[in-house]
Amino acid sequence: MRLATWNVNSLKVRLPHLLDWLASQQPDAVCIQETKVEDTKFPREEIEAAGYQVAFSGQKTYNGVAIISRSAPEHVHAGIPGFDDEQKRVITATIQGVRVVCAYVPNGQAVDSDKYQYKLRWLAAFEAWLATERRSQPRLAVLGDYNIAPADEDVHDPAAWKDQVLCSAPERAAFQRLLGLGFKDSFRLFPQAEKSFSWWDYRMMAFRRKMGLRIDHILLSPQLAARCGACQIDIEPRRLERPSDHAPVIADLAD
DNA sequence: ATGGCTATGTAGCATAGA
């Protein structure tokens, strides 16, 4: 089973890239973030024509998440239960017996901002919910844009990013608490090239200069981690015309 | 160098991203 996550930064603009990528990579399920589209305007037909099914939770302009899968998504649920949030950041579905959580963690803007406080509150609610899910779902995968670079090796310039949003100690601690629930960061289950990143700023030719961060992650419960044979970041879509600023991350699980 | 791109909503720029 091939699982993937990709922040597309507008599903409308990136739909051609996504359809090409589905055809070339043949994933079984893809978690999409920043669709930026209302549910009534979701491009369902185009994706279904490519042989995939969809579950989505979106809004105008901002946020928005979707799960695209070969087989029918079952037991679909949007949001974090018990956490009141107008921002559409989570959708969950069972696919081929795997409970798949697609998450778009708040960016946080700056460590001294209200949005940063919202990010930390959001992460606390997310952790509490995943702790309960872990008990009932042995095959649990949490994919998405975490907006957290877990360690300095995930940052092109750790000194410049020290204590900045995406890299601050409270955010990294929140990420470690998720790992503390028993999840594995699938990317780090394997040897990886240095300067492996999943996001590069649009400005300053950051991609060409390899100035990025690794903030998109695939967390796997122990039972799934034991089945994981590979995890990679596919930077090819970042080279295209009018790319998303994020690259997809792919994990392969043995059947 | 505190900018530098890009997308959206909306018709000039403001907001947000990371």
Q: What is the spatial distance, in angstroms and rounded to an integer, between the CA atom of A210 and the C1' atom of B2?
A: 21
**pLDDT per position as a tens digit, A52-106:** 999 999 999 999 999 999 999 999 999 999 999 999 999 999 999 999 999 999 9
In angstroms, how far is B9 C1' from A228 CA? 42
Out of A28, A52, A116, A145, the active site residue is A145
pLDDT of residue A14: 97
Q: What is the per-residue pLDDT for A222?
A: 98
Nucleotide nearest to A246 (CA to C1'): B18
Model pLDDT, residue A223: 98
Mean pLDDT of A130-145: 98
**Phi/psi of residue A188, each to 5°?**
-90, 5
Model confidence, pTM: 0.97
d(CA A65, CA A76): 12
State pLDDT tens for residues A11-52: 999 999 999 999 999 999 999 999 999 999 999 999 999 999
**pLDDT, position A178:** 98
Distance A217 CA to B16 C1' (A): 22
Q: State how far the Cα of A255 lies from the Cα of A249, in Å rounded to an integer.
A: 19
CB A127 within 8 A of CB A178: yes
